[in-house]
Amino acid sequence: MTLVAHAQSMHFETPLPLQCGASVRAYDLAYETYGTLNADRSNAVLICHALNASHHVAGVYAGQDKSEGWWDTMIGPGKPVDTDRFFVIGVNNLGSCFGSTGPMHLNPDTGRVYGADFPVVTVEDWVDAQARLLDALGIRTLAAVMGGSLGGMQALSWSLRYPERVRHAAVIASAPNLNAENIAFNEVARRAIVTDPDFHGGHFYQHDVVPKRGLRIARMIGHITYLSDDVMNAKFGRDLRRSVGEVAQDDYRYSTQDVEFQIESYLRYQGDKFSEYFDANTYLLITRALDYFDPAREHGGNLAQALAAATAKFLLVSFTTDWRFSPARSREMVKALLDNGRHVSYAEVDAPHGHDAFLLDDPRYLAVVRAWFARIAADSESEPVAAP
Amino acid sequence: MTLVAHAQSMHFETPLPLQCGASVRAYDLAYETYGTLNADRSNAVLICHALNASHHVAGVYAGQDKSEGWWDTMIGPGKPVDTDRFFVIGVNNLGSCFGSTGPMHLNPDTGRVYGADFPVVTVEDWVDAQARLLDALGIRTLAAVMGGSLGGMQALSWSLRYPERVRHAAVIASAPNLNAENIAFNEVARRAIVTDPDFHGGHFYQHDVVPKRGLRIARMIGHITYLSDDVMNAKFGRDLRRSVGEVAQDDYRYSTQDVEFQIESYLRYQGDKFSEYFDANTYLLITRALDYFDPAREHGGNLAQALAAATAKFLLVSFTTDWRFSPARSREMVKALLDNGRHVSYAEVDAPHGHDAFLLDDPRYLAVVRAWFARIAADSESEPVAAP
């Protein structure tokens, strides 16, 4: 059965104070829900998105067959996160470019488009905004919060900022902070955008241009780091470009600027596509949110101390070929949680796809998540529930 | 004793035919030599350079204390490649920007600066040009040819194109070809340069501009891939920017465009510096030479078959944390040489510095090279020598 998704939006009038000291005066959050909230409002699952994703997590929009949500392999009727049992919420984060208030919207303080004036938002700010959305939806406690990559950081942050509101947290292909190399890749991508002459200091909207050159480069860099070396070799290797009939060429044409190898063609295509729809200021904001996330920072770098506040039961998953958020980073979190005597399930999935694996339909990975959520459902049904 | 270097140049009037089908009509090669060619001309060692290097391999220029050659840790009096025993030659490759004929020089066919019209040069073309330089210097046979990274590809190519002229070949931190990920990083760097509005299709010289934005991005990407994750974490970690007094800050300032982390400051500095002196067209040419190198290609991908032509004795060295040219790639070459019954020494050095390690003074690495060259020297002294 096809799950049909409906995009919704919630308006908030109360200013949201941010970690940076500024606040967002009034804002909208785009969101979607799937499944039915049960009578005691105990089956809600919040899904947090990563860099290039949105509230459209699962299902398709009516009449648009190809509009699957970004985690449709994971979430839906009978799927690992079963919408026949759980009420699943997807939400687009503040500062993003898929419907929630972001840099391309009007700044109520100036009456002009925010652009680069949109305040810097952090993982913690997003979690606070999401908490208000749950309040508005009448949901006090989450059966689970779940996310991959940057979404996993939000799930972890939920468990720290609102421990009493999170019964379970799934942190997939994530890390307790970015390392120097991660930050370095983000910085190169940002520099490509900021130094694009069409960026105009982040106020390109007024010039009717988009810094597409920079966005293309940013996306190409991102793509390389999402994939493993192995999967790139298997998928592209040193194959030369394909002709119109999709036959790989076998002669070098000796050019520095034309496409010669298939991997070049693939990356250029990905970069072009991305530059057509993604907002440049959003790219800066979201990569910065990644850079800044570091719950151990206030504890002198002691992650175990930082995670002491979390009381949820955890699932962590990592992928062997993920060099962006390597298994070692997940193991750091597992150890820190265990040091606090927390309940943690951990799966290190031997998958060839690199960081992208968390979005793909690896059967072992999906089976782990399915089993974990089945246990949550079973636990919930056996738990005595207070009268509403 | 300080080795004093003197840059020299050799002019060639005979056109050099290139792999791409074009030829370079007349050209100059910048080079340096260190030590003394012995009477039977049997102690010459050719050093081949990588992307961002030149003929200035060792020593300093008179009156310029800080002008050490790029492999000065390796080459000089009493050093692993001992200029008291060997006559060492450094040469700048065609298409480079440090003195040999390249894109910023006049095209004799048009009377205008080559720019993007400089023909695509390959590793094989460089080796052919180097062979002519040796002819001009009266050197028939090399005691050894040696290079790291792209320089290692040239050393390997020497052993295949001119097996009778190479007694020993040292291939350091190199690979028998680039994999998809390597090509991908090169392509992103090239796109950053080519899409910089100041590139002007490669004829920016006529516009009195330099595509510095693109060069900066290219260099930043390169730098990340030269270093290991570990060394970046050890050197920079998540340290925040330093103030004027070089004290690391401890508060986020929440900015998407300003330097926040020390790694960002480092990369920006490297990018800025590089964009001041490196030629954009040279960057395209040299990364393409890397992409194209693939001696197994004409043998249906069979590297053992491709290396059957080599008769030199080999030294291969790789570094455990080099993810750009990983030890696995060196092992492929070792295996292919052994399959042909060749004499191969191989050292896999446990070094933290990533690809950059081949330029650093790791004692175990230097000891391996020292021992290998000492044996070459000893072998040469004990070999009967034909009268000149």
* pLDDT for the residue numbered B245: 66
* pLDDT for the residue numbered A247: 66
Whether A248 has a pLDDT exceeding 70, the answer reads no
DSSP A27: E
* pLDDT for the residue numbered A241: 86
Whether A387 has a pLDDT exceeding 70, the answer reads no
B221·A220 Cβ contact <8 A: no
CA separation (Å) from A329 to A344, A349, B2?
15, 14, 47
Residue among A140, A138, A166 at smallest CA distance from A154? A166
A183·B263 Cβ contact <8 A: yes
Instruction: Give the distance from residue B238's alpha carbon to the nearest chain A alpha carbon, in angstroms.
Output: 6
B288·A256 Cβ contact <8 A: yes
Residue A185 has its nearest CB partner, among B224, B260, B323, at B224
CA separation (Å) from B45 to B8, B35, B67?
17, 10, 22
- Mean pLDDT by runs of 10 across the 388 residues of chain B is 92 97 96 97 97 96 94 98 98 97 94 96 98 98 98 98 98 98 97 98 96 98 94 94 70 94 96 97 98 97 98 98 97 98 98 95 97 93 52
* pLDDT for the residue numbered A3: 94
Place of tokens 């920006």: B268
Whether A386 has a pLDDT exceeding 80, the answer reads no
Whether A375 has a pLDDT exceeding 60, the answer reads yes
Residue among A181, A184, A188, A217 at smallest CA distance from A325? A181
B267·A229 Cβ contact <8 A: no
Question: Which residue in B128, B196, B322, B356 is the catalytic one?
Answer: B322
Contact between residue A312 and residue A163 where contact means Cβ atoms under 8 Å apart: yes
Q: How does pLDDT run across A294-303, given as a tens digit for each residue?
A: 999 999 999 9
Question: Which residue in B55, B56, B353, B355 is the catalytic one?
Answer: B355
Q: How does pLDDT run across A183-239, given as a tens digit for each residue?
A: 999 999 999 999 999 999 999 999 999 999 999 999 999 999 999 999 999 999 999
* pLDDT for the residue numbered A250: 76
Question: Which residue in A149, A159, A326, A330 is the catalytic one?
Answer: A149
Contact between residue A336 and residue A304 where contact means Cβ atoms under 8 Å apart: yes
Contacts of A202 in chain B (CB under 8 A): 257
Residue type, B356: D
Question: Which residue in A322, A353, A362, A380 is the catalytic one?
Answer: A322
A187·B220 Cβ contact <8 A: yes
* Number of helical H runs and strand E runs in chain B: 10, 16
A181·B233 Cβ contact <8 A: yes
Contact between residue A185 and residue A221 where contact means Cβ atoms under 8 Å apart: yes
Place of tokens 């291969």: B316
A224·B188 Cβ contact <8 A: yes
CA–chain centroid gap for B169, Å, is 15
Residue among A340, A95, A108, A240 at smallest CA distance from B183? A240
Instruction: Give the distance from residue B272's alpha carbon to the nearest chain A alpha carbon, in angstroms.
Output: 12
B178·A285 Cβ contact <8 A: no
**Residues with Cβ within 8 Å of residue B164, at least 6 apart in sequence:** B141, B311
Instruction: Give the distance from residue A68's alpha carbon to the nearest chain B alpha carbon, in angstroms.
Output: 29
* pLDDT for the residue numbered B2: 83
Contact between residue B165 and residue B142 where contact means Cβ atoms under 8 Å apart: yes
Q: For B200-244, give the secondary structure using H, E and C.
A: HHHCHHHHCCCCHHHHHHHHHHHHHHHCCHHHHHHHCCCCECECC
**What is the ipTM for the molecules in this complex?**
0.94
* pLDDT for the residue numbered A380: 77
CA separation (Å) from A98 to A12, A60, A93?
17, 16, 9
Whether A75 has a pLDDT exceeding 50, the answer reads yes
C-alpha span between B271 and A2 (Å, rounded): 50
Instruction: Give the distance from residue B117's alpha carbon to the nearest chain A alpha carbon, in angstroms.
Output: 10
Residues A260-281, mean pLDDT to the nearest whole number: 97
* pLDDT for the residue numbered B248: 67
* pLDDT for the residue numbered B81: 98
Contact between residue B95 and residue B102 where contact means Cβ atoms under 8 Å apart: yes
Residue type, A376: I
pLDDT band at A388 (very low <50, low <70, confident <90, very high): very low
Q: Is the pTM of this model over 0.90?
A: yes
Q: What's the mean pLDDT when you consider all of chain A?
A: 95
Catalytic residue status for A49: no
Catalytic residue status for A250: no
Beta bridge partners of A314: A169, A344
Instruction: Give the distance from residue A206's alpha carbon to the nearest chain B alpha carbon, in angstroms.
Output: 19
C-alpha span between A202 and A206 (Å, rounded): 10
CA–chain centroid gap for B385, Å, is 32
CA separation (Å) from B347 to A152, A203, B124, B173, B367?
41, 54, 26, 10, 11
> Which of A18, A233, A254, A324 is most worth mutating to test chain B (most B CB atoms within 10 A of its CB)?
A254
* pLDDT for the residue numbered B241: 86
Residues A87-109, mean pLDDT to the nearest whole number: 96
Helices (H), chain B: 123-136, 150-161, 180-194, 212-226, 229-235, 262-277, 280-292, 303-307, 327-339, 363-382
pLDDT band at A383 (very low <50, low <70, confident <90, very high): low
Catalytic residue status for A343: no
CA separation (Å) from B170 to A75, B32, B151, B160, B242?
55, 19, 10, 13, 41
C-alpha span between A126 and B15 (Å, rounded): 64
Contacts of B297 in chain A (CB under 8 A): 238
* pLDDT for the residue numbered A291: 98
